[in-house]
A and B are shown apart, each in its own frame.
Chain A
């Protein structure tokens, strides 16, 4: 826990420094082509951008600790929008995670149980393609096929005032698949390796020799053994999804944290970039911490 907080603090520092060295500033952005030196200086002073970087960082950090993420360049508070966008992204990421886990387990276990066989080889090629395919390419293919050719699903995933993703769950399908397919394909390779290892583990061998049915060997003896390593992989999948969300949410016009972050970076909205970046970093850190805990709980030697 302490390590997680330390990492989060380090991330906040890095984020702040990264934004600080970005070319341009919010004052230039706001003033546009009216940005005379005098007007810029005045606005920078008003926004606190003329203060030393340490002072700016500490003021921002103090605000975050108080639950105040500051205001955007338009003066609107960041938190309310961040909360809603965060929930939208969580819904999408959760859907994508379920899909990614399903893909990883089905493909990984199927390949691992038949390691070296034609099924394994076919799945390996498939997962390699899945890993190699950029999410925006996959999204384009999915939109063309399922929205324009088959007309089964909407090509965009926007929300209207007062609505949530649960009002129209079909909008989640294409972005979730776009996110989950590469992540699931990537994770399936680790699942496969863990399954191959566990196949020769003494308890699995013993269960098999005792004549237990394959399904029982799988669920009772093999899968519990791979949960620990898989949890680590799934934590990495979370990082994968968080990163991919920035692109995929843009493509599908889905109002999540990723599209918010992309928009905020484009307009140099520092408060929003910092807060959204921090939330995303915290998500990844929590996922890895959870994976560590699961690893300990499922491995008697670490318990």
Chain B
């Protein structure tokens, strides 16, 4: 898909088409987008290319991007939180590998190869230089790994470097290093490196004088105002088409849309679904639903170890009573797709052979009655737009089968603050970024899952998941991923009722924007007024 749109600029020769491809949206980006932005973006999608205008454009153009930010972001790649900063950082810095949808693209790394059991990974770097002319060396990679692994310096990302045995990394030559892991991991490239592997010059940490090796150079940075980047003419993979981009901090989604409509910017990162609906026929802007691959999974999470959900029939009844179509149309204004209780729709490795869960009011009523369930409560909060509305609609749907649902609404900023409460709540609204199913399972489920709020685990499941994580062979990992999803589909209490698409908007002449991990990337974009 990417290649057909952006032509030879994408390096097909270096793509690693692993079957289990990993994406991740780091916790802070999620938190930011939950609180400050109406949409999240993950995976890949593109501004549809206009073939006529694309043919006419060889280079040039400057694009202004409106994006939400944190007032005190400092353009520090180890600590950045705001989407605006990340759009800028992805331009200034290179990553060893990166994700385009479900595909891992190699970046600064020419190759990343595991040993037989996935306990050591050999990274060979491209011939590349930083913007100050100095070469990108293995030492810079080691420094970047070590800084990202430090919870003090990189509190949001350290968890993704915890498995790297940094003290024992070996530098073989000026382009090659061997990275040992504390325990074997077959998806190290997909889950870790393609997720977050920015390389900064040794001893630096971004800031207003940030120097990277990316397609754009930092020209000016001012918190609360904008990040101005100019084309890096010496980029190792060829300079980008655009002369430059400027990321302007606009916190309010309506203000971003107004700025686009008024011609003040060419790209609005994140607009409201209702506004998108209202502007659908406006010829002066492109509304860009990012597709299900770039979406947020909405769910009702039932803890399978707490009554009444320790009874599988009650979980089954809840799944059957949810009217997913109605939720999508009402809560998401139609900008979404119905879910089928496993994460990863639209991404590689998704098990689409599982039959869609359909609403069955009579069967739900029978199961609830048999279990003696007449009252339930749900913990909810407006962490993400629509969560409370969804719980309210669920209450109406449950009422149809004689079950009274009480909403326990708490402030959004407190929703994730009490970990113990999250782990001991029988039923709660929640969301997940839509990531490949295998990655989601490894991160969120099983005995070692960091945020296993449905408490799905047990000897059988842990063994299944353990085999998946350790598997180096990509085809075998794909098969194991399917099995894991099937297990979750039948046994987990996670009712994923929809995938809400991210919605962005752009001026008509903008083409070739690629999404990766919540941030649009502009190094392959072109713009013509």
User: Which A residues lie at the B interface, using CB under 8 A?
Assistant: 23-24, 28-37, 40, 72-76, 81, 84-85, 143, 147-148, 154-156, 158-163, 250-253, 255, 259-260, 263-264, 266-269, 272
- Give the CA-CA distance A35 to B420 in the complex, in Å: 10
The answer to whether B72 touches A37 (Cβ under 8 A) is: no
Which residues of A lie under 8 Å from residue B222 when comparing CB positions? 160-162
- Give the CA-CA distance A31 to B155 in the complex, in Å: 8
Indicate if B202 sits at the interface (CB-CB under 8 A).
no
Which residues of B lie under 8 Å from residue A154 when comparing CB positions? 262, 264
Which residues of A lie under 8 Å from residue B420 when comparing CB positions? 37
- Give the CA-CA distance A186 to B220 in the complex, in Å: 42
**B225, B250, B414, B418: residue with the most chain A Cβ atoms closer than 10 Å:** B225
Partner pick for B74 among A37, A40, A74, A148, CB 8 A cutoff: A74
Q: Lowest 6 CB-CB distances: which A-B pairs, in order?
A: A28-B417, A161-B220, A161-B222, A155-B262, A72-B72, A32-B31
The answer to whether A250 touches B251 (Cβ under 8 A) is: yes
Which residues of A lie under 8 Å from residue B311 when comparing CB positions? none
Which residues of A lie under 8 Å from residue B449 when comparing CB positions? none
- Give the CA-CA distance A267 to B417 in the complex, in Å: 13
Which residues of B lie under 8 Å from residue A75 when comparing CB positions? 74, 79
- Give the CA-CA distance A33 to B413 in the complex, in Å: 11
Q: How far is the CB of A276 from chain B (nearest CB, A)?
A: 10
The answer to whether B223 touches A32 (Cβ under 8 A) is: no
A-B contacts, 5 of them at CB < 8 A, read A31-B155, A37-B420, A81-B224, A162-B220, A259-B251
Which residues of B lie under 8 Å from residue A74 when comparing CB positions? 70, 72-74, 79, 81
- Give the CA-CA distance A160 to B227 in the complex, in Å: 8
**Which chain B residue has the least Cβ–Cβ distance from A88?**
B224
Which residues of B lie under 8 Å from residue A73 when comparing CB positions? 72
**A32-B416 CB under 8 A given contacts A72-B72, A154-B262, A252-B255:** yes
Indicate if B261 sits at the interface (CB-CB under 8 A).
yes
**A268-B413 CB under 8 A given contacts A32-B27, A85-B224:** yes
- Give the CA-CA distance A195 to B460 in the complex, in Å: 86
Q: How far is the CB of A11 from chain B (nearest CB, A)?
A: 22
**Which chain A residue has the least Cβ–Cβ distance from B228?**
A161
The answer to whether B225 touches A161 (Cβ under 8 A) is: yes
Partner pick for A28 among B224, B259, B262, B416, CB 8 A cutoff: B416
**A266-B228 CB under 8 A given contacts A23-B413, A24-B413, A250-B255:** no
Which residues of B lie under 8 Å from residue A28 when comparing CB positions? 413-414, 416-417
Which residues of A lie under 8 Å from residue B223 when comparing CB positions? 76, 81
The answer to whether A158 touches B249 (Cβ under 8 A) is: yes
Indicate if B382 sits at the interface (CB-CB under 8 A).
no
The answer to whether B250 touches A158 (Cβ under 8 A) is: yes
Given contacts A24-B417, A161-B227, 19 further A-B contacts (CB under 8 A): A23-B413, A24-B411, A24-B414, A32-B30, A33-B27, A34-B27, A34-B450, A35-B417, A40-B417, A75-B79, A85-B224, A155-B259, A162-B225, A250-B255, A252-B255, A253-B252, A253-B255, A263-B70, A266-B36
